[in-house]
Structure 1
Amino acid sequence: MQNFDAIWKIYSDSFPKEERRTLEQQINILNKNRYNLNPIYHEDMLVGFYAVWDLDTFLFIEHIAIDRKFRAKGCGSKAIKNIIHKFDKIILEVEKPETYEAKRRIEFYKRLGFHLNNYDYEQPAYDDNKESVPLLIMSYPNKINENEFENVKNKLYKMVYKV
């Protein structure tokens, strides 16, 4: 994949160890049919990426990140808006609103039309050397009910996290 090294650097700099794959794991999923790793450009310069899973009934944005030098310039919003125009239902995970950054991130997604769903959820560990991470699910264009949440969680666990 073109620009993979630059994307990997942004990925590594943007997510805590517990919330990301190892390099080997990431390389292994690049050829999965349902998975896409997409660069984000601004004025012909790579500024970030987003990684998504097409899970039939919804699109799961597993990761999205903008290089620190280009944050707060509208690149992330533009990328999310482009995704929204292509898919009817979108799911993503966010940290619980326990820190300033987590609260800001949730508000960012809310401004783009996402809804916070307050159901207990844990992102399974990516491997045996990591811990699971308590997170929350956000959905677009509507909140999801408890039954929908269970379906989303089960699909994520099975198809993305392989548990």
Structure 2
Amino acid sequence: MTQQLRFIPFKSRSDKGWAEAWALYEASFPDCERWDGTGYDRAFGDPHFEADGIWRGDEFIGILFHWNAGDYRYVEHLAVSPRLRGQNMGSKALAAFCQGRRVILEIDPPEDEISVRRQHFYQRLGFVANPYAYIHPSFRRPFHPHRLVLMSYPEALTYEEARGFADFIRERVLRYSEHENPELPRL
């Protein structure tokens, strides 16, 4: 019998599994898309933020870092342990997380084989690519804003919703980055 996946929130960087989660986070995302550890120390106290470890029994599977924005959840980081890739763990985790929720996430524009596969992965799970030009700031110095595609579940965003999402990133999420006066992202 297959064990259910569980999402267990980290409350601090000293929690069980955080070292493995941090190693996966650093290996899975470029510097410009990651916070430093002190950003997480501050964010753990934010009621809108949750950094979940994904577990199957006592086995660490991956991470799902997300924000509760009221009308939707913003999935900031999702990664599965490399030893488990190709076993549909990411699909299972994201499908379980999305159940009954409106979800927004960002992906690289589908310009190469990997980014096209990533977009198809999310589309198979019911996500929709939104047509709005979206520029996301980098979280760390040197700042290099980059174009991303907004994807939403289970339906497309209106322009007003996409605008509200960009405001949420600027007003809430960037507090934990190296930005002092965030003015991005923009739509």
Shorter-chain-normalised TM-score: which range?
A: over 0.9
- Whether the aligned pair in 2 keeps the contact of 1:34 and 1:55 (CA below 8 Å) is yes
Alignment of 1:4-153 (within 5 A): 4-42=18-56, 44-87=58-101, 89-153=102-166
Deviations 1:6-49 (A, max 9, x none): 00000000001111111222232122111111111235310211
Higher mean C-alpha displacement, 41-50 vs 58-67: 41-50
Runs of 4+ in 1 over 4 A off after TM superposition: none
Q: Output the CA distance in 2 between the equivalents of 1:44 and 1:118.
A: 41
Identity fraction in percent: 27
Q: TM-score, normalised by structure 1?
A: 0.92
Gaps of 5+ in 1: none
Q: Secondary structure of the residue that 1:26 maps to in structure 2?
A: helix
Instruction: Provide closer, same or farther for how the CA distance between residues 137 and 57 of structure 1 changes in structure 2, counting only shifts above 3 A.
Output: same
Contact 2:66–2:74 (8 Å) recurs in 1: yes
The number of equivalent residue pairs is: 162
CA contact (8 A) 2:34 2:140 kept: no
Within 2, Cα distance between the matches of 1:20 and 1:133? 14
| CA displacement, residues 38-64 of structure 1 (integer Å, 9 cap, x when unaligned) | 111235310211001001111000000
1:53 and 1:40 map into 2 onto residues whose CA distance is: 16
Partner Cα distance (1:104, 1:54) in 2: 27
Q: 2: CA distance between counterparts of 1:110 and 1:95?
A: 14
